[in-house]
Amino acid sequence: MLYVTLQLVLMLALVFLTFGADPESITSLHLPEWTRHVSRVLLFSGLVLAAWARASLGRAFQVPPDPKSDVELQTGGIYKVLRHPMYTAVALLTVGLFLARPSVPMAAVGLFLVIVLLLKSRHEERLLLERYPAYETYRSRTRGVLFFI
């Protein structure tokens, strides 16, 4: 439950920093204009990936990392190529938000959020291995978070 709480708090902090913070504060970073275009691509990609992951999971979807006891291992849809597409989507959205409103606090919160997601995915993997014997084979042939872990 700690991972879920940290994830929620950090995501709320990102929203506050995106919409509530002064964009001209002393902690703001000045990046080239093209990074705003990259930001839009990442934000759009993150939203599409999150929607695809949610649709692929169906009733197996939940925020806590422990798998539901009454559902099968999901390996279809986006889960054919990526084990943790929802975490990847959140990471893409995080980088996209940072590029839209670059600041030192946004970078720190974003980095901490990505670290929490990686730790949460490792914890979830242990739970999935216990619940589904076929998970080891699935894990060996499918990418993790951000297509490389």
Task: Please say if the pLDDT value at position 21 is more than 70.
Answer: no
Tell me whether residue 40 is in a domain. Answer: yes
- The pLDDT, as a whole number, for residue 107 is 93
Tell me whether residue 23 is in a domain. Answer: no
Task: Please say if the pLDDT value at position 38 is more than 60.
Answer: yes
Lowest mean pLDDT among 50-54, 61-65, 90-94: 61-65
Tell me whether residue 30 is in a domain. Answer: no
Distance (Å) of CA 51 to CA 8, 56, 57, 102 = 18, 9, 10, 26
Task: Please say if the pLDDT value at position 121 is more than 80.
Answer: yes
Q: What is the DSSP string of 46-111?
A: HHHHHHHHHHHHGGG--SSSSPPTTSPPP-SGGGGTBS-HHHHHHHHHHHHHHHHS-BHHHHHHHH
Condensed to tens digits (0 to 9), the pLDDT of residues 83-113 reads: 999 999 999 999 999 999 898 999 999 999 9
Which amino acid is residue 124, in one-letter code?
A: E
Number of domains observed in the structure of the chain: 1
Contact 145, 88 (CB under 8 A): yes
Burial class (CB in 10 A: 0-12, 13-18, 19+), 38: middle
Contact 17, 101 (CB under 8 A): yes
Tell me whether residue 105 is in a domain. Answer: yes
Task: Please say if the pLDDT value at position 149 is more than 70.
Answer: no
d(CA 57, CA 55): 6
Lowest mean pLDDT among 20-24, 67-71, 91-95: 20-24
- Whether this prediction's pTM lies above 0.85 is answered by yes
Split at pLDDT 50, 70, 90, the class of 26 is low
Lowest mean pLDDT among 19-28, 58-67, 137-146: 19-28
C-beta neighbour count of 104 within 10 angstroms: 12
- The pLDDT, as a whole number, for residue 143 is 82
Tell me whether residue 50 is in a domain. Answer: yes
Tell me whether residue 118 is in a domain. Answer: yes
Mean pLDDT of 127-139: 92
- Residue 80 domain boundaries: 2-12+35-61+72-147
Tell me whether residue 84 is in a domain. Answer: yes
Task: Please say if the pLDDT value at position 146 is more than 70.
Answer: no
Which residues lie below 8 Å from residue 9, measured CB to CB, with a gap of 6+?
Answer: none
- The pLDDT, as a whole number, for residue 90 is 94
